[in-house]
């Protein structure tokens, strides 16, 4: 494939991604070096802010090839760096299944502790979802904070969420995750209170015999109920907007794909939306919908959605279900894949797994391989076999975008009713609506009005019925 590069689209010449004020704001925030997160510095583990600085990665290789596991560890490294950490070392253990007590074997635990001491790491990140007992045992034996892949992704989402709905969804997922993992450090949180005001808890605090952890769980349950109520209210607003689009029968296109595949860049290229673009995982959390139109004037919407990832935490899928439902309501899914990724087929499978989970597997799908400017031609050949109807584009250089626009227009649902009407000049508002929501076959201006032949939806056909020929 011969890539064409338009100088007018050079990012240094043309701000095709907009002003990117959100990106400037995000880049202005930096974690302070030297802030320790050692367990010896705190008394209550669960209330300590997650500050990832110098980390060691730990993984268990249970199945698949060496390449598959290397890709998984590389992704974990990117996740950790997105959260603001410096990755010092990565350790992998080959096992048939994770150890039920410590995730990794006793010998590997000692090895991890030695690496932590040697490198000065303050956090260990496990490539998997750890049980509460595994977290406790690892922290006790290693001596530094241990988090799993799920907590890491939740932290990234918490950093990047900006809208009211996004923040509420992330907090809900965090609390659902935390509820089963509350524990005290040094046993000080397990003491029972002899009375309601014992220990300075005050009125409404612990009841007789209630431990500090039980109090915390009760407060978490209360907060979860409040967040779910708030999200239901926000869902009603989103449903109203969807119903309005359905009433007007505006076709919708949802851009889905693996995180950091270039979905926001494509949206900016196609609509000039100016959505935040960053070379980082989960840079975009809040869905962005923009109006666009086809070459013949038909209006449709393009929606940028949150990126997916392998083993996306279940709590996140549930919390973001209303946001992900933007995909289930679409007429067409533009599935963006990073062509330069070592495992693009794995990306496709991971995204389709989540789409199946939310009930979007029956919607028409157009696979688009992005970032072809970063991939070798030899790497693209097998992709043409995997997805024969796929398009190959580059949001950075603009290569293949015109073909993508044409393909989207081609696969949009077409109006079903054919009409022929003589529309009076006083009702040219109907002609305008035909241009926006229908397909004009031909027009002829006469002395009595405009004779139009077109394909329109049922509602508009009903309004044109009185002028039918």
Please tell me whether residues 256 and 400 are part of one structural domain: yes
Range of the domain at 61: 42-158
Choosing from 395, 411, 427, the residue where a domain stops is 411
Choosing from 387, 411, 435, the residue where a domain stops is 411
Res 272 pLDDT > 80: no
Res 207 pLDDT > 70: no
Q: What is the band of 285 on the pLDDT scale with cuts at 50, 70, 90?
A: low
| Predicted confidence (pLDDT) per residue in 19-70, tens digit | 555 555 555 555 444 444 444 443 344 434 445 478 999 999 888 788 888 8
Note whether residue 31 is domain-resident: no
**Residue 231: what pLDDT?**
85
| Cα 399 to Cα 2: distance, rounded to the nearest angstrom | 10
For 59-68, 109-118, 131-140, which range has the lowest pLDDT when averaged over its residues?
59-68
Name which of 122, 145, 124 is nearest 47 in CA terms. Answer: 145
Q: In angstroms, what CA-CA distances link 221 with 73, 225, 248?
A: 34, 6, 41
Choosing from 93, 128, 158, the residue where a domain stops is 158
**Residue 21: what pLDDT?**
54
Higher per-residue confidence, 95 vs 321:
95
Contact 37, 53 (CB under 8 A): yes
**Residue 195: what pLDDT?**
46
Average pLDDT (413-424) is: 82
Average pLDDT (256-280) is: 72
**Residue 5: what pLDDT?**
36
Q: What is the band of 142 on the pLDDT scale with cuts at 50, 70, 90?
A: very high
Quote the number of domains for the chain.
4
Note whether residue 34 is domain-resident: no
Note whether residue 26 is domain-resident: no
Q: What is the band of 320 on the pLDDT scale with cuts at 50, 70, 90?
A: low
| Predicted confidence (pLDDT) per residue in 372-416, tens digit | 998 888 888 889 888 999 999 998 888 999 999 999 988 888 777
CATH number at residue 68: 3.40.50.11060
| Predicted confidence (pLDDT) per residue in 211-252, tens digit | 677 778 888 899 999 998 988 888 787 777 767 666 667 788
Greatest mean pLDDT among 45-54, 286-295, 347-356 lies in 347-356
Please tell me whether residues 200 and 291 are part of one structural domain: no
pTM given for the model: 0.69
**Residue 326: what pLDDT?**
67
Please tell me whether residues 263 and 376 are part of one structural domain: yes
Please tell me whether residues 91 and 196 are part of one structural domain: no
Proportion of the chain above pLDDT 90, given as a percent: 17
**Residue 43: what pLDDT?**
38
Please tell me whether residues 338 and 287 are part of one structural domain: yes
Q: What is the band of 109 on the pLDDT scale with cuts at 50, 70, 90?
A: very high
Please tell me whether residues 357 and 391 are part of one structural domain: yes
**Residue 181: what pLDDT?**
80
Please tell me whether residues 352 and 452 are part of one structural domain: no
Note whether residue 443 is domain-resident: yes
**Residue 46: what pLDDT?**
41
Please tell me whether residues 283 and 432 are part of one structural domain: no
Please tell me whether residues 270 and 341 are part of one structural domain: yes
**Residue 368: what pLDDT?**
94
Note whether residue 88 is domain-resident: yes
Q: What is the chain's mean pLDDT, rounded?
A: 77
């Amino acid at each position: 494939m011969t890539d064409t590069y338009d100088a007018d689209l050079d990012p240094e010449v043309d701000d095709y991604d907009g002003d990117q004020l959100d990106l400037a704001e995000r880049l202005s925030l930096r974690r302070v070096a030297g802030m320790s997160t050692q367990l010896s510095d705190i008394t209550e583990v669960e209330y300590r802010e997650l500050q990832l600085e110098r980390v060691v990665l730990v993984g268990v290789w249970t199945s698949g090839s060496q390449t598959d596991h290397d890709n998984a560890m590389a992704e974990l490294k990117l996740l950790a760096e997105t959260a603001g950490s410096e990755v010092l070392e990565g350790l992998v253990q080959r096992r048939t299944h994770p150890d039920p007590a410590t995730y990794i074997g006793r010998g590997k635990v000692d090895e991890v502790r030695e690496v932590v001491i040697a490198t000065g790491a303050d956090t260990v990140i496990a490539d998997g979802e750890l049980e509460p007992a595994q977290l406790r045992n690892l922290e006790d034996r290693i001596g530094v904070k241990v988090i799993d892949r799920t907590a890491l992704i939740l932290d990234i989402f918490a950093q990047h969420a900006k809208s009211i709905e996004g923040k509420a969804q992330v907090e809900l997922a965090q609390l659902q995750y935390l509820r089963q993992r509350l524990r005290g450090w040094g046993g000080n949180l397990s003491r029972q209170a002899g009375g309601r005001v014992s220990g300075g808890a005050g009125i409404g605090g612990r009841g007789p015999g209630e431990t500090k952890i039980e109090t915390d769980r009760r407060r978490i349950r209360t907060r979860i109920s409040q967040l779910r109520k708030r999200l239901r209210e926000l869902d009603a607003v989103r449903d109203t907007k969807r119903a309005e689009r359905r009433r007007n029968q505006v076709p919708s296109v949802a851009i889905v794909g693996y995180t950091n595949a270039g979905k926001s860049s494509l949206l900016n290229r196609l609509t000039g939306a100016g959505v935040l673009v960053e070379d980082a995982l989960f840079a975009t959390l809040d869905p962005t919908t923009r109006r666009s139109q086809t070459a013949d004037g038909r209006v449709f919407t393009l929606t940028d959605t949150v990126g997916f990832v392998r083993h996306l935490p279940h709590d996140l899928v549930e919390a973001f279900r209303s946001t992900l439902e933007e995909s289930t309501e679409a007429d067409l899914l533009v599935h963006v894949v990073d062509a330069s990724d070592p495992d693009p087929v794995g990306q496709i499978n991971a995204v389709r797994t989540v789409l199946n989970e939310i009930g979007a597997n029956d919607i028409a799908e157009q696979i688009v391989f992005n970032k072809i400017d970063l991939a070798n031609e030899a790497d693209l050949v097998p992709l043409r076999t995997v997805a024969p109807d796929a398009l190959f584009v580059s949001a950075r250089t603009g290569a293949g975008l015109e073909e993508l626009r044409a393909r989207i227009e081609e696969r949009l649902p077409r109006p079903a009713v054919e009409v022929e009407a003589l529309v009076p000049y006083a009702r040219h508002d109907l002609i305008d609506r035909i241009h926006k929501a229908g397909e004009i076959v031909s027009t002829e201006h006469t002395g009595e009005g405009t004779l139009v032949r077109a394909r329109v939806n049922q509602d508009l056909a009903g309004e044109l019925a009185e002028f039918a020929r």
